[in-house]
Chains A and B, each alone.
Chain A
Amino acid sequence: MEPAILPDILALILALSLAAYVLFGGADFGGGVWDLFAFGPRKQRQRDVISHSIAPIWEANHVWLILAIVLTFTCFPPAFARLGTVLHIPLSLMLVGIVLRGSAFIFRSYDSQEVRAQRRWGRIFAIASLVTPLLLGISIGAVASGRVVENPGGDFAARFVHPWLTPFSFSIGLLALTTFAFLAAVFLTMETTDAELVEDFRGMALFAGVAVFGAALLSLSLAPGQAPLMQEGLVASAWALPFHILTGVAAVVVLAGLWLRKFRLARIAVGVQVLCIVGGWALAQYPYVVPPDLTIAGSAAPDVTLRLVVGILAVGGVILLPSLFYLFRVFKSGPADRPERPARGHFNG
């Protein structure tokens, strides 16, 4: 393998695992957001469907984030050190969110079914599901805006707060939140056989789709002043136009699919749309891991490490991908609330 392209390959894999996290883990967070904003007479039934569809898969989906972290510190150690230092505050807060979301969700499943206990854990689960994507987006926004630098000098605020506390970062936080909610709502339309609930989720999805559009416009309008690299990549580069067209087409197809109740089509298109959003960020940032100075090649670990990681990913993938496929086939080949098959060999008396 040509050594010079090795770091690029690892960067691509890193971007892909982040994209997988957004696509799958993001939808689980989005489910929590809809738990918070469940509405109308079927509130409780909406929450039940959300809970059933997340339960078997959220932990596996969550590991995409861990994989991304491990890939970052193994393949791009200086970038990991930089992110941990400068983004200490938003990342720590995000961790609190991750811990509370996961724990509250599992506590709700296993605590007594009495309404008060359920409500208490449900509230924590839902609020953590709202806050975590915001903080993830803020952190990514900080990176994209090129403000995560070694030592900008100045006081505490200048070094550890100003890099991420910007309107642009917040717009990316909003974009992450709305995208996760959008994904969740689109996926949820296929998780139930109850026609009324399908309509509820369809409404949520259409609403979130508009919100994603708004958040994306906001980010793009803030980019010229605050994230020049994004601006350059997403507007001026050669791939920008076809890329925007693809993203736009995907977005239109999702909304059309929702409108016409072609939910399977909407589900595929929303996947494409989200991959385009993450991919656009990654491409605009290329060749930097952490702009403005840490490039992929410049911050990469020695080739021997990268080569071994590729080997591990290949071998691991052979076990992992069929397992993941099996997991999703068992739980996602039909609505989450479908009547279960008659239990076999249970208590006989």
Chain B
Amino acid sequence: MPDLLAARSQMAVSLGFHILFAVVGIGMPVLMIVAERRWQKTGDAVYLELARRWAKGTAILFAVGAVSGTVLSFELGLLWPSFMKFAGAIIGMPFSLEGFAFFTEAIFLGIYLYGWDRISRRAHLLAGIMVAVSGAASGVFVVIANAWMNSPTGFDMIRGAAVNVDPIAGMLNPMAFQQTLHMTLAAYAATGFAVAGIHAFLLLFDKENAFHRRALAIALLVGGPAAVLQPLSGHHSAQVVAEYQPAKLASMESHFVTGRHAPILLGGWPDMDARRVRFAIPIPGALSLLAFNDPDALVKGLDRFPRRDWPHVPTVHIAFQLMVALGTYLALVALWGGWLAMRRHDHGSHRWFLRALALAAPMGFIAIEAGWTVTEVGRQPWVVYGVLRTADAVTPMPGLIVPFLSFTLLYCFLGIIVVWLLYNQIIRSPRPTEWSRRYSPTSSR
């Protein structure tokens, strides 16, 4: 395995692993505080049990997220020293802000998890809110740094070095807003649907369990709106990509030949040598329309870029299609849920809806992984788009396959343990099944 590929793989594994925990760190606190607030208002002990269990889950996931995030902050230097030497002064700003947000999150999570009996109820809920807010903020800051890699601003290049550095302009880069919005919505949608899906699945077998019913209701409340808004945010993201990273857009859509009235291709396998897509269903004009609000707009194809500046088109194309398909499914299920709620149907008793939700449980997270594949692989061969090549940023250290394999094994091991613990300690119905016989439809709250 060449060192560059090993370094990229190690980074991909580290990011792909960490992001699952980071997303949960953004979404779960919201579920936790909604449950706690409802307990405080209604005195219903099921809500307290939910808040405590979700807090337990958050504790496990946050800890693994924190240590895997530490690995990433070091890996920036261990794997990409030249990138950090070049970019540190420009994108250090969002990272510093992220540091503070993360610090705040860790402090208040400690207070939340271990302070149930040590501080007042109000202070406890407030600590939960601080966790949720700082968790979201730290996600936003990290994504801003990534957005800068896609649309770098705030410096001038003179003889291979960045001069006239303006970190504020770097933070306000053109991709920052759309990318952070898309990621934040994704975090709430993925977490909400994962939790809703798990409890929907369990409700299929244990349909009168009040614990699962209330969990389902709260999870849908958090995940549903985000899933409905996500396609709109995605549409705007694509427009920004079309403007600032045309090669990435062309890869996402496997758009080889520049032209007007460009189609969207559903499915298909891009053949990079023949420069065409096999087995795809085209929707004529749709790409021009979506990217530039005009069915006759000119959309740059990959033919405008030298072959050495292409990303790996099939990876980007398929990841993009996967993300869109999964996101669409989540949005449709969310709309269905909203419609059921408006008709005052009980979500917990609608078996087809529960099945659809159970199927959706992993989808948000798969969509997030696919979306990051689009962002990161789609930016290649650049680490800083149009400025610094990934191959020029990698460490001179040889034998990188060793750390790559070591960290991959370590993360596989941790992943298995985490899933096993979550199943045993959090998802399974409370053992003293005092609530399983207490029928209480969520709509009669």
Contact partner of A305 (CB less than 8 A), chosen from B43, B79, B89, is B89
Q: Are B119 and A107 in contact (CB under 8 A)?
A: no
Q: Are B81 and A106 in contact (CB under 8 A)?
A: no
Smallest CB separation, A218 vs chain B (Å): 28
Residue B231 interfacial (CB < 8 Å)? no
> With a CB–CB cut-off of 8 A, which chain B residues contact A65?
70
Given A55-B114, A347-B45, verify A60-B92 contact (CB < 8 Å).
Answer: no
Residue B282 interfacial (CB < 8 Å)? no
Q: How far is the CA of A69 from the CA of B116 in the complex (A)?
A: 33
> With a CB–CB cut-off of 8 A, which chain A residues contact B298?
none
Q: Are B74 and A341 in contact (CB under 8 A)?
A: no
Smallest CB separation, A144 vs chain B (Å): 19
- Of all chain A residues, the one with the shortest Cβ separation from B168 is A308
Residues in B385-444 with C-beta less than 8 Å from chain A:
395-399, 403, 406-407, 410, 414, 417, 421, 424-425
Q: Are B73 and A70 in contact (CB under 8 A)?
A: yes
> With a CB–CB cut-off of 8 A, which chain A residues contact B110?
56-57, 59-60, 327, 331
Given A81-B84, A84-B74, verify A107-B421 contact (CB < 8 Å).
Answer: yes
Q: How far is the CA of A77 from the CA of B84 in the complex (A)?
A: 6
Residue B338 interfacial (CB < 8 Å)? no
Given A88-B395, A91-B74, A98-B67, verify A323-B92 contact (CB < 8 Å).
Answer: no
Q: How far is the CA of A347 from the CA of B398 in the complex (A)?
A: 59
> With a CB–CB cut-off of 8 A, which chain B residues contact A110?
56, 59-60, 421, 425
Q: Are B84 and A84 in contact (CB under 8 A)?
A: yes
> With a CB–CB cut-off of 8 A, which chain A residues contact B167?
304-305, 308
Q: How far is the CA of A111 from the CA of B423 in the complex (A)?
A: 11
> With a CB–CB cut-off of 8 A, which chain B residues contact A301?
88-89, 92, 165
> With a CB–CB cut-off of 8 A, which chain A residues contact B399?
156
Q: Are B403 and A66 in contact (CB under 8 A)?
A: no
Given A74-B93, A110-B59, A301-B165, verify A62-B66 contact (CB < 8 Å).
Answer: yes
> With a CB–CB cut-off of 8 A, which chain B residues contact A304?
165-167
> With a CB–CB cut-off of 8 A, which chain B residues contact A103?
63-64, 67, 414, 417
Given A84-B395, A88-B78, A327-B110, verify A70-B118 contact (CB < 8 Å).
Answer: no
> With a CB–CB cut-off of 8 A, which chain A residues contact B121?
344-345
Residue A222 interfacial (CB < 8 Å)? no
> With a CB–CB cut-off of 8 A, which chain A residues contact B172?
none
Residue A43 interfacial (CB < 8 Å)? no
Residue B15 interfacial (CB < 8 Å)? no
Q: Are B81 and A84 in contact (CB under 8 A)?
A: yes
Q: Are B74 and A69 in contact (CB under 8 A)?
A: yes
Stretch binding the partner chain, chosen from A179-187, A272-280, A312-320: A312-320
Q: Are B107 and A84 in contact (CB under 8 A)?
A: no
Mask: chain A, 323-335; 1 = CB below 8 Å from B; 0 = not:
1101100110000
Q: How far is the CA of A4 from the CA of B17 in the complex (A)?
A: 42
Q: How far is the CA of A128 from the CA of B305 in the complex (A)?
A: 49
Q: Are B397 and A85 in contact (CB under 8 A)?
A: yes
Mask: chain A, 79-114; 1 = CB below 8 Å from B; 0 = not:
011111100100110011011111101110111100
> With a CB–CB cut-off of 8 A, which chain A residues contact B425?
110-111
Q: How far is the CA of A340 from the CA of B45 in the complex (A)?
A: 21
Residue A309 interfacial (CB < 8 Å)? yes
Residue B329 interfacial (CB < 8 Å)? no
Residue B315 interfacial (CB < 8 Å)? no
- Of all chain A residues, the one with the shortest Cβ separation from B130 is A323
Residue A292 interfacial (CB < 8 Å)? no
Q: How far is the CA of A78 from the CA of B161 in the complex (A)?
A: 12
Contact partner of B48 (CB less than 8 A), chosen from A66, A83, A346, is A346
> With a CB–CB cut-off of 8 A, which chain B residues contact A91?
74, 78
Q: How large is the interface on B (under 10, 10 to 19, 20 to 34, 35 or more residues)?
A: 35 or more
Q: How far is the CA of A302 from the CA of B89 in the complex (A)?
A: 7
Smallest CB separation, A349 vs chain B (Å): 9
Q: Are B67 and A99 in contact (CB under 8 A)?
A: yes
> With a CB–CB cut-off of 8 A, which chain B residues contact A316?
96-97, 99-100, 103
Residue A241 interfacial (CB < 8 Å)? no
Summarize B's interface: helix, strand, loop or mixed.
helix
Q: How far is the CA of A6 from the CA of B113 in the complex (A)?
A: 39
Q: How far is the CA of A92 from the CA of B396 in the complex (A)?
A: 15
- Of all chain B residues, the one with the shortest Cβ separation from A82 is B81
Q: Are B71 and A102 in contact (CB under 8 A)?
A: no
Q: How far is the CA of A287 from the CA of B420 in the complex (A)?
A: 51
> With a CB–CB cut-off of 8 A, which chain B residues contact A59?
62-63, 66, 106, 109-110
Q: How far is the CA of A95 from the CA of B71 in the complex (A)?
A: 6
Contact partner of B95 (CB less than 8 A), chosen from A70, A327, A330, A348, is A70
Smallest CB separation, B400 vs chain A (Å): 9
Q: Are B100 and A319 in contact (CB under 8 A)?
A: yes
- Of all chain A residues, the one with the shortest Cβ separation from B170 is A305
Contact partner of A77 (CB less than 8 A), chosen from B67, B89, B108, B396, is B89
> With a CB–CB cut-off of 8 A, which chain A residues contact B89?
74-75, 77, 301-302, 305
Residue A210 interfacial (CB < 8 Å)? no
> With a CB–CB cut-off of 8 A, which chain B residues contact A85?
77, 81, 395-397
> With a CB–CB cut-off of 8 A, which chain A residues contact B115?
56, 330-331
Q: How far is the CA of A324 from the CA of B425 in the complex (A)?
A: 30
> With a CB–CB cut-off of 8 A, which chain A residues contact B95?
70, 73-74
Smallest CB separation, A316 vs chain B (Å): 4
Residue A227 interfacial (CB < 8 Å)? no
Q: How far is the CA of A70 from the CA of B89 in the complex (A)?
A: 10
Q: How far is the CA of A74 from the CA of B145 in the complex (A)?
A: 12
> With a CB–CB cut-off of 8 A, which chain A residues contact B98?
70
Residue B273 interfacial (CB < 8 Å)? no
Q: Are B81 and A60 in contact (CB under 8 A)?
A: no
Smallest CB separation, B433 vs chain A (Å): 14
Q: Are B74 and A340 in contact (CB under 8 A)?
A: no
Q: How far is the CA of A241 from the CA of B88 in the complex (A)?
A: 38
> With a CB–CB cut-off of 8 A, which chain A residues contact B406?
92, 96
Residue B245 interfacial (CB < 8 Å)? no
Smallest CB separation, A129 vs chain B (Å): 13
Contact partner of B92 (CB less than 8 A), chosen from A56, A309, A327, is A309
Given A323-B107, A343-B116, verify A62-B88 contact (CB < 8 Å).
Answer: no
Residue A71 interfacial (CB < 8 Å)? yes
> With a CB–CB cut-off of 8 A, which chain A residues contact B99?
63, 66-67, 70, 316
Smallest CB separation, B255 vs chain A (Å): 37
> With a CB–CB cut-off of 8 A, which chain A residues contact B166?
304
Residue B328 interfacial (CB < 8 Å)? no
Contact partner of B96 (CB less than 8 A), chosen from A55, A88, A109, A309, is A309
The residue among A70, A80, A98, A342 with the most chain B CB atoms within 10 A of its own CB is: A70
- Of all chain A residues, the one with the shortest Cβ separation from B424 is A112
Q: Can you give 9 A-B contacts (C-beta < 8 A)?
A: A74-B88, A80-B85, A81-B82, A82-B81, A84-B79, A99-B68, A105-B63, A110-B56, A309-B96
The 8 closest A-B pairs by CB, nearest first: A74-B92, A84-B77, A77-B88, A301-B89, A81-B81, A316-B100, A106-B63, A56-B114
